[in-house]
Copies of this chain bind each other. A is one copy, B any other.
Amino acid sequence: MEYKGLIRLVNRPCIKSTGSAVGKKEMEGPLAEFFDVSSDDDKFGQKTWEQSESEMARIAFETALLKGKCSKGDIDLLFAGDLLNQCTAQSFGLLDENVPYIGIYGACSNLAEGLMLSAMCVNAGYAKLAAVSTSSHFCSAERQFRFPIEYGSQRTPTAQHTVTGAASIIVESSLHHENDYVYINEVLPGRIVDMGITDSNNMGAAMANAALDTLKRYFMQTNLKPDDFDLILTGDLGAEGMAIVKDLAIQKKMVFGENLSDCGLMVYDLKKQDMHAGGSGCGCSGVVVASHLMEQFRQKKCKDILFLGTGALMSPGSVMQKLSIPGIAHLVRLTHS
C-alpha cells in the first residue's frame, strides 16, 4: 500500500441508518420531505439555543438508532463534533448515551470527518457499529460567531445562513450480508489550505481552494476524473465559494460538468428564502447527506458520488486578531450497490 493519503476501505463499510432533525426555515426549503424530525420554533422544547442544539443532536442520534433497529449499547464508537466553543452541543446532547465518545473538530467538515473515521474503524474491525453525529443551530452560531439575534444586524450578500440541523449516520460492516446499501469505499483526509481570506462573511471563498486541493489529490491518486461520478457534492461552499471553485478549476485545468453541486445551495430555496449565499454550518452537509442524498441513492438517481466536507478553521478571536481563514476538505466516496 502506497501512502499518498487515499485510504481504500476494502471491507466495504456501509451506511446502516441515518437520522436528521431540523428547524423551521429548513422545513420551508425544498428538502423538507426528507427530514425525520423538526421543531417549529427551533427550540426542541429547551430554554437556551445551546441546549436546543444539544437536544436536536440527541434526537437525530436516537432517530438513527431507531431507523437502524439498534440501541445505543450497540454503538462501539461515536465520533461527534459541532461549531460551539469546546464542542459542547454534542457533548451535552449525547451525555446520557453512555457510548465510547471521540470528540472531533473539523468545523463544517465534521460530518465528512466523522463519517471517514467511522468507516475506517468499522473497516479495520475496531467497531461493529460506529456513528458520526454533528449539528449546528442558527441562533447559537449567530450568538457565538456574529451578533446577538436581537440586534437584527444586516448580512452581506456573500454571507451564508447557518443551518439549524443535526445529523447522525451509523456505519456497519457489510461483509456478512449483501443488501441495498450505500458503501464508503474510499476516504481522503484533507490538508489545511490558506488562501489568505480574512473576510469572515465569505467562508465560501476561504474553503474553495481546500476543496480543490483535496479533489486534485484524489483524481491524481486514482486516475479518475470528475465526470466519472454522478455527483461531486461539496458541503458547504455556498454560491460564492462555488463560483470561486469553478473559476479556480479552470486555472488548474480541472473540468467539472453539471455534476458539481453544494449542500449549501440545496438546503434552502435561494430564490424564495432570504438566505444570501446559501446554507452553512455542520448541520448543513449533515442533514443534506443524511436525508436527501440517501433518498437519491435509494431511488437510484445516483450510484457513485464524491462527498467533500469543507470547513473553515477560524474562530471569532482569530478573526479579531486579523488572521486569515484557513480551510480544509475531507473526501468520502459513496457508492450504491
Q: How far is the CA of A103 from the CA of B108 in the complex (A)?
A: 12
- Report yes or no: B83 in contact with A86, Cβ–Cβ below 8 A: yes
State whether A318 touches B92 (Cβ < 8 A).
yes
Indicate whether A313 sits within 8 Å of B91 (C-beta atoms), given known contacts A102-B117, A191-B98.
yes
Q: Are A317 and B85 in contact (CB under 8 A)?
A: yes
Check if A326 sits within 8 Å of B91, measured CB to CB: yes
A320 to B99, CA, bound (A): 27
State how many copies of this chain the complex holds: 2
What is the size category of the interface that chain A forms with chain B? 35 or more
A199: min CB distance to chain B, Å = 17
Proximity string of chain A (14-57) to chain B, C-beta cutoff 8 Å, 1 when within and 0 when not = 00000000000000000000000000000000001011000000
Q: A85-B315, A113-B102, A315-B86 are in contact. Are A92 and B191 (CB under 8 A)?
A: no
Q: Evaluate whether A315 and B88 lie within 8 angstroms (CB atoms) in the complex, with A76-B5, A190-B100 already known.
A: yes
One of A59-67, A125-133, A234-242 contacting the partner? A125-133
| A101 contact from B50, B77, B190, B317, Cβ within 8 A | B190
CB distance from A96 to the nearest CB of B (A): 8
Is the CB of A123 closer than 8 A to any CB of chain B?
Answer: yes
- Give every chain B residue within 8 A of A316 (Cβ-Cβ): 85
Known: A99-B191, A103-B105, A326-B92. A127 touches B3 (CB 8 A): yes
Q: Which of these, B76, B85, B127, B189, contacts A102 with CB under 8 Å?
A: B189
Bitwise, A111-155 to B at CB < 8 A (1) or not (0) is 001000100110111111000000000000000100000000000
Q: Taking the nearest CB of chain B, how far is it from the CB of A308, in angstroms?
A: 14
Also in contact, A87 and B105, with CB within 8 A (given A5-B76, A48-B321, A120-B124): yes
Q: Is the CB of B321 within 8 A of A100?
A: no
The yes or no answer to A95 lying at the interface (CB within 8 A) is yes
Closest to A113 in B: B102
Query: From residue A284, how far is it (CB to closest CB) to chain B in Å?
Result: 17
Give A94 to B95 CA distance when docked, in angstroms: 31
Contact A194 B50 (CB under 8 A): no
Ordered by A's residue number, 24 sampled pairs between the chains whose C-beta atoms are within 8 Å are A3-B76, A3-B127, A3-B128, A48-B321, A50-B317, A50-B318, A51-B321, A77-B189, A81-B103, A84-B315, A86-B105, A86-B318, A91-B192, A92-B323, A95-B192, A100-B189, A101-B189, A101-B190, A101-B192, A102-B104, A103-B105, A120-B121, A120-B124, A123-B124
Please name 12 further chain A to chain B contacts, defined as beta carbons within 8 Å, in addition to the given A85-B317, A99-B191, sorted by A numbering. Answer: A3-B76, A5-B100, A84-B315, A86-B105, A87-B105, A87-B313, A91-B192, A92-B323, A103-B105, A103-B106, A103-B313, A117-B117
5 tightest A-B contacts by CB?
A: A124-B124, A86-B315, A100-B189, A91-B313, A103-B105
